[in-house]
Amino acid sequence: MAENNLNARLRALPKIDEVLQHVTLPAQTLRSLPDEVVTHAAREEVEALRQRILADEELDADALLPEQVAQGAAVRVLAFAQTSLRPVVNATGVVIHTNIGRSPLAPQALEAVVDAARGYSTLEYSTDAMARGSRHDHCEALLCALTGAEAALAVNNNAAAVLMVLSEFAAGHEAVVSRGELVEIGGSFRIPDIMAASGARMVEVGTTNKTHPEDYERAIGPDTAMLLKVHTSNYQIVGFSESVPGVQLAKIAAAENARRERAGECARMLVYEDLGSGSLVPPLLARPDAEPTVRAALERACDLVSFSGDKLLGGPQAGIVVGRKDLIDRLKKNPLARALRLDKMTLAALEATLRLYLDGSAYRTVPTLRMLNEPVESIEQRAHALAKLIEQRVDAACAQCSVVKTTARAGGGSLPLEDLPSFAVKAALVRGSAAECEAFLVKDCAIPVIPRVQKDHLLFDVRTVQDGEGEVIASNLASYFESEADA
């Protein structure tokens, strides 16, 4: 585009004052709203148009009229009236669904959050000593008891835990990792990137499908500070593949450390495993070996293990590091531990969730574990109840309901190969379309419902639908067919 032409198009953008003269909002909104908020919305609207012009986009003839731009600004202002972060119903059958908040909390954890947040708390105050305490104390003993570790530390999330461990123990040194474990977890968490951010020098060994003990042994040099093992939790290489188990890595590290001691060298090498999901108990009662527990990883003689709080553990977002006390003590003093520390609400939720593992009630009380382990017969019953509920609200001339077998997933990069047998209510649309109906359920309802969509029907997988949520599904569906009748 000629530069003159571009300048002319940019000059045609309305002035903010002109836009503001045309902004009309409901009186109630206007009365309570600071002027600056409306001005800000007008600026953003004009800026969005400027970007579209710079990108050489074709605009409608009246897109730059102040009246038109003012309408866009009003929409931005009115959007503030709706809460952005709100509950949704998960009818996808994916239990640990990262986009919609991973693990719902147990009622005990919710109560603890409210209690900690409502007033003051013992966050960093020891009632025993009647003096300053440490926020690390609330969960450490519980974590040790539940994993067999000497010490534990919880931070903001597992990505933060990995960053902190690498930066404390491997920054400026070499960390050896298998090429088969250089995973991307999603949301821009890639092992090579996080290693680079920590200042550790990554030494890759083996191949994508096979890594042998000798590969590690050959890679170890005088500056090797760590053998890193990453649980490839969201995929698995099946077939001609081999990785080196933690127990073997521990043996390799022990041999190297003995050699260093004999040679009078003072640096020691660590074995650290990023377990990803990390569960305190076997997550699937029916398949106890499906996923190693944190305790098992530590028993394999890893020095440190880290895992998420909101995956299989079923607690709040957190990253938990457990292992040797001397190492955890060093982590506690790392400035990153302060920058990445947990707030009181998360700590309260984590402590309350951990307590549920003490008395063996976790499979009933922790929602994530309960959903993963609900017997398929019970899911089938709930699916029939949901179908009935929908049939009461939605005419068979609009949608035909039936109960069908499905396969649910653990999700959240956990148990990638485990099919969880499940049941769903299938709504075959007689009127409207499945795609339109899905859009309505997600975009146009106060509580969005997220189904699975297949061609001409919707599936509401009941494994992830919680108590009381069936009503929401039925009423959202009924609203769709009402709106469809009006259209």
Binding site for ligand PLP (CB under 6 A): 157-159, 162, 185, 189, 230-231, 233, 274, 276-277, 308, 319, 413
**In this structure, what DSSP letter does residue 279 have?**
B
Q: Is 32 exposed, middle or buried (0-12, 13-18, 19+ CB in 10 A)?
A: exposed
Q: Which is nearer to ligand PLP, 92 or 279 (CB)?
A: 279
Min separation Cβ 100 and ligand PLP, Å:
14
**H/E stretch holding 172:** none
Min separation Cβ 165 and ligand PLP, Å:
11
Q: Which is nearer to ligand PLP, 158 or 243 (CB)?
A: 158
- Reference 423, options 98, 91, 116; nearest CA is 91
Q: Which is nearer to ligand PLP, 69 or 159 (CB)?
A: 159
Min separation Cβ 349 and ligand PLP, Å:
14
**H/E stretch holding 26:** none
Min separation Cβ 194 and ligand PLP, Å:
8
Min separation Cβ 230 and ligand PLP, Å:
5
Locate all alpha helices (DSSP H) within 294-343, ordered by sequence.
294-299, 325-333, 335-339
Cβ 324 vs Cβ 304: under 8 Å: yes
Report CA torsion sign: 142, 147, 153, 154: negative
Q: Which is nearer to ligand PLP, 300 or 457 (CB)?
A: 300
**In this structure, what DSSP letter does residue 422 have?**
E
Cβ 92 vs Cβ 406: under 8 Å: no
Cβ 97 vs Cβ 90: under 8 Å: yes
Min separation Cβ 23 and ligand PLP, Å:
41
Q: Which is nearer to ligand PLP, 345 or 442 (CB)?
A: 345
- Around Cβ 59, how many Cβ atoms within 10 Å? 13
Please identify the residue of the shown chain whose CB is closest to the bound ligand PLP: 276
- Around Cβ 258, how many Cβ atoms within 10 Å? 10
Min separation Cβ 455 and ligand PLP, Å:
32
Q: Which is nearer to ligand PLP, 94 or 230 (CB)?
A: 230
- Reference 399, options 364, 371, 440, 362; nearest CA is 440
Q: Which is nearer to ligand PLP, 158 or 293 (CB)?
A: 158
